[in-house]
Amino acid sequence: MNQKERYEDAKKMYAALGVDTDAVIEALKKVPVALHCWQGDDVTGFDHDGPLTGGIQTTGDYPGKAKTPQELMLDMDKALSLMPGTKKLNLHASYAIFEEGEFADRDKLEPKHFAKWVEFAKERNMGIDFNPTFFSHDKVKDGLTLSSPDEETRKFWIEHGKACVRISQYFANETGIPCVMNIWTGDGYKDIPADRMGPRLRYKDSIEQILSEPYDRKMVKPCVESKVFGIGVESYTVGSAEFTLSYAATHEGCLPLMDNGHYHPTEVVSDKIPALLCFYPEIALHITRPVRWDSDHVVLFDDETKEMAKEIVRNDALGRVFMALDYFDASINRVSAWVVGFRSWQKALLNAMCMPYGTMKQLQDENRMTELMVMQEEIKTYPFGDVWNEYCERCGVLADGKWFEEIVKYEQDVLLKR
Ligand code: RNT
Ligand code: ZN
C-alpha cells in the first residue's frame, strides 16, 4: 500500500469513531505555534558577551552554533522548511540587531533594533512573540532585577520592560498578528531568605509600572511566567506559581504563562490547563521537556506532551491558548532540535484532534468508566502515523524518515564550515 491508500484506510477507521481526519488536517494547519529563536544559539543573543545567567543553563558543545543574526536566520529557515503548520517567531530582547558600531542598552531598546526580524517574519507570513530579557546582563544585581531593593537597578529593568511593550506593539502593528509578551525573571535566592514578601511586593509594583505603558489590549498580550526554582536560586523564586497566577487574576489583560518545566516533578501542567481555562479567557504555555528538573530537553511525542495537547483541544481552547516552545539543547544538532520539538508538538495536537471526545465525555458522564478505559486504550494503536504523514504532505514538508537527510546535508554544507 502506498501512503495515499494507507491514509484512506486510516481515515475510514477514524470516521467509524466519528472523527473527520480531513477536517482535522485543515484545522491544524491554521493553528499558530511559536518557535523560539534561542534554541539556535544556546540562549546567547547578540547584545552581550557574558555568560548565560538567571538560573538557566545550556549544556553541550555540538558544532555549528549560530553566532550572527544572519547565521541564526539561515538555520531557522532550514528548520522552518521541515516543520508543518503555522509558525510564529519567538524573540528575546537580547536578540536585538544593531548596525555596525551601534549599541543600545536594554533600557534604551527601540523598535528599529528589531526591524530585521520584522522583515524576516513578514517575508514568511509569521507573527512575532516577544520576551524582555531580565538575565545575562551586568545590571542583574545580586541575582535580582524587577524585585531588587536597589531602586536604580529596579528602575533600569522597569525601563527595559516598558521598552519591550513598545517593541511588542510595533511587532503587532507590523505583522497584523497579536504579540504575546512574556515576563519572566530569574529573581530569587540560593539560600533561605528572611523576607519572602518584600521582593514580591516590589516585583508586583514593577510589573504594574511596565504594563502602565500604553498598548492595544487586543494586539499585545502580556503574560507572567512562574517558576519553582533555578540553578543558584534553589531556595526561593520571587515569581512563584501563586504569585504569577494571582497577578494575572487581578490585572485585567495579563495572562498567566505556564512552563511545564517549572513545577514540582509530580505536578502536571495538563491538569492545570483546564483548571485555568475555567477562569481566564486566555492563557499561555511554554512547552518543554523537564527531565527530573527544569532541564529544557527537546520536546518529544511523549505521554505528558500528548495530555497537554488533549486538554487544549478537547476543551475547544485552541483559540484561547498561546503556545510556544521553550527548550535549548547544545549537545545535538540545533536545527534538528528545533525540528524534532516542533514536529512533536504538532503530532501531539494532531493526535489530540483525532479523538472522539463527544463519545468519551458521554461515557464519563454516564459513569461507564470500564468502556472509557477500553476506548482510550484502543485508540492508542489506531493508525495515527498515516494521518500524520498525510498532514505533512498537505503542508508540503517531508515526512518522517525523510526530513533528517536534509539536516545531515545542511550540517555538512553549512554548520561544519563555521
Ligand atoms: C526559564 C524560563 C524562560 C526562558 C526563556 C529563555 O526557566 O523558562 O521562559 O527559558 O525566556
Ligand atoms: Zn519558559
The reported pLDDT for the residue numbered 97 is 98
pLDDT digits (tens, 9 = 90+) for 312-330: 999 999 999 999 999 999 9
The proportion of the chain whose per-residue pLDDT surpasses 70, expressed as a percent, equals 100
C-alpha 314 – ligand 1 centre gap (Å) = 27
Using CA positions, which residue lies closest to atom 10 of ligand 1?
Answer: 326
Whether 184 sits among the annotated catalytic residues: the reply is yes
Catalytic residue among 259, 282, 311, 406: 259
Give yes or no for a contact between 76 and 35, defined as CB atoms under 8 angstroms apart.
yes
Query: Would the pLDDT of 49 be above 90?
Result: no
pLDDT digits (tens, 9 = 90+) for 76-131: 999 999 999 999 999 999 999 999 999 999 999 999 999 999 999 999 999 999 99
C-alpha 90 – ligand 1 centre gap (Å) = 12
The reported pLDDT for the residue numbered 291 is 96
Angstrom distance (rounded) from CA 364 to CA 370 = 10
Q: Tell how far CA 1 is from the center of its chain.
A: 38
Average pLDDT rounded to a whole number, residues 296-324: 98
Give yes or no for a contact between 56 and 78, defined as CB atoms under 8 angstroms apart.
no
Using CA positions, which residue lies closest to atom 5 of ligand 1?
Answer: 326
- Which numbered ligand comes closest to the C-alpha of 227? 1
Catalytic residue among 262, 306, 310, 347: 262
Whether 38 sits among the annotated catalytic residues: the reply is no
Average pLDDT rounded to a whole number, residues 368-383: 98
- Which numbered ligand comes closest to the C-alpha of 45? 1
Residue 73: C-alpha distances to residues 26, 80, 385 (Å)? 28, 10, 31
Query: Would the pLDDT of 260 be above 90?
Result: yes
Catalytic residue among 47, 187, 213, 225: 225
Using CA positions, which residue lies closest to atom 7 of ligand 1?
Answer: 56
The reported pLDDT for the residue numbered 160 is 98
Whether 296 sits among the annotated catalytic residues: the reply is yes
Query: Would the pLDDT of 195 be above 90?
Result: yes
pLDDT digits (tens, 9 = 90+) for 220-254: 999 999 999 999 999 999 999 999 999 999 999 99
Q: What is the mean pLDDT of the chain?
A: 97
Whether 259 sits among the annotated catalytic residues: the reply is yes
Half-sphere exposure of 378 (CA within 13 A, CB side): 11
CB atoms within 10 A of CB 153: 18
Using CA positions, which residue lies closest to atom 2 of ligand 1?
Answer: 184
Angstrom distance (rounded) from CA 37 to CA 128 = 11
For 367, the grid coordinates are 459513569
State the SS3 of the chain.
CCHHHHHHHHHHHHHHCCCCHHHHHHHHHCCEEEEEHHHCCCCCCCCCCCCCCCCCCCCCCCCCCCCCHHHHHHHHHHHHCCCCCEEEEEEEHHHCCCCCCCCCCHHHCCHHHHHHHHHHHHHCCCCEEEECCECCCCCCECCECCCCCCHHHHHHHHHHHHHHHHHHHHHHHHHCCCEEEEECECCEECCCCCCCCHHHHHHHHHHHHHCCCCCCCCCEEEEEECCCCECCECCEECCCHHHHHHHHHHCCCCEEEEECCCCCCCCCHHHHHHHHHCCCCCEEEEECECCCCCCCECCCCCHHHHHHHHHHHHCCCCCCEEEEECCCCCCCCHHHHHHHHHHHHHHHHHHHHCCCHHHHHHHHHCCCHHHHHHHHHHHCCCCHHHHHHHHHHHCCCCCCCCHHHHHHHHHHHCHHHC
Using CA positions, which residue lies closest to atom 1 of ligand 1?
Answer: 56
Angstrom distance (rounded) from CA 103 to CA 114 = 13
pLDDT digits (tens, 9 = 90+) for 327-363: 999 999 999 999 999 999 999 999 999 999 999 999 9
The reported pLDDT for the residue numbered 50 is 86
Q: Which atom of ligand 1 is nearest to the CA of 43?
A: 6
* β-pair partners for 181: 130, 222
C-alpha 341 – ligand 2 centre gap (Å) = 14
Which residues have CB less than 5 Å away from ligand 2 (the ion)? 259, 286, 326
The reported pLDDT for the residue numbered 391 is 98
The proportion of the chain whose per-residue pLDDT surpasses 90, expressed as a percent, equals 99
C-alpha 288 – ligand 1 centre gap (Å) = 10
Which residues does ligand 1 sit against, CB inside 6 Å?
38, 43, 56, 92, 131, 184, 225, 227, 259, 286, 294, 326
Average pLDDT rounded to a whole number, residues 58-69: 97
For 123, the grid coordinates are 517575508
- Which numbered ligand comes closest to the C-alpha of 95? 1
pLDDT digits (tens, 9 = 90+) for 269-291: 999 999 999 999 999 999 999 99
Give yes or no for a contact between 175 and 121, defined as CB atoms under 8 angstroms apart.
yes
